[in-house]
Amino acid sequence: MKVSTILIALITLLITSCSAVKLSDRINKDRELNDSNYSQLKGSYSNRSTNYAHDSHTILKTLIADTVKQRRNFMVKIKPLDNENLIVKFYNDSIPKELKLKGKYKRGYFKVKREWNYDFLVGPLFWGFGDKVNYIGLRNNKDLVIVNSRGGTAFIFVVPAFSAGGQFDATFKREK
């Protein structure tokens, strides 16, 4: 009985928490990136999203959940190392940061390796699992686009209580 309950909980977790990315909305808006032309991503970009007015839509906040207070005026440089690694450098006096993103080129974008996370909010009684997927690409005008999808499931007494998630695509202006 206990094994079947755990198995049902794990299957439910996998079905309800995985983030699905719908790239069909991006057709004819973005360039097709692959293993042979990935060097097109190399460049400097504005940190601020051009299609979201809220301050939380910055490249740093989109790629990782960073709690550092961010300024609007820092520059971001992206350098593809090879067809499985990207270096993202953030230039600002107060936030020296460099990220090495692992992934692969898929469906015309650099798909960053899926991140899994979990939280035990009230010990074993209330806990949740989630995941995050980022696709990094270029618009037709060479601006950077990051398609981000997050999902998750919360469990109470190891029974799924609710699941949540969402997707957004943020565009960042190419500076150089």
* pLDDT tens sequence across 123-133: 555 667 777 88
pLDDT at position 173 is: 79
- H/E stretch holding 12 reads helix 2-17
Residue 34 has pLDDT above 80, yes or no: yes
| More confident: 138 or 168 | 138
Query: Do the strands 43-49 and 159-174 form a parallel or antiparallel pair, or are they unpaired?
Result: antiparallel
What does the CA dihedral 11, 12, 17, 19 come to, rounded to 10 degrees? 60
Look at 24-28, 77-81, 122-126, 170-174 and tell me which has the smallest mean pLDDT. Answer: 122-126
Q: How far apart are CA 100 and CA 85, in angstroms?
A: 7
Q: How far is CA 131 from CA 68, 103, 116, 138, in A?
A: 21, 15, 4, 24
pTM assigned to the model: 0.72
Instruction: Write down the residue that tokens 């450098």 correspond to.
Output: 89
Q: Are 126 and 154 in contact (CB under 8 A)?
A: yes
* All residues at 6 or more sequence positions from 37 whose CB lies less than 8 Å from its CB, including other chains: none
| Whole-number average pLDDT of the chain | 75
| pLDDT band of 102, cuts 50, 70, 90 | very high
Residue 2 has pLDDT above 90, yes or no: no
Q: Are 153 and 160 in contact (CB under 8 A)?
A: yes
| pLDDT band of 21, cuts 50, 70, 90 | confident
pLDDT at position 67 is: 46
* pLDDT tens sequence across 45-98: 887 777 765 555 566 666 655 544 555 566 788 999 999 999 988 776 665 678
Look at 95-99, 100-104, 120-124 and tell me which has the smallest mean pLDDT. Answer: 120-124
Q: Which two tokens stand for residue 82?
A: 């090879």
Number of neighbours of residue 141 by Cβ within 10 angstroms:
11
Q: Are 91 and 74 in contact (CB under 8 A)?
A: yes
SS3 state of residue 149: strand
Q: What value does the mean pLDDT take over residues 130-155? A: 83
Percent of the chain at pLDDT > 90 equals 22
Q: What value does the mean pLDDT take over residues 103-125? A: 79
Percent of the chain at pLDDT > 70 equals 60
Q: How far is CA 4 from CA 9, 13, 55, 158, in A?
A: 9, 14, 46, 12
Q: How far apart are CA 144 and CA 135, in angstroms?
A: 11
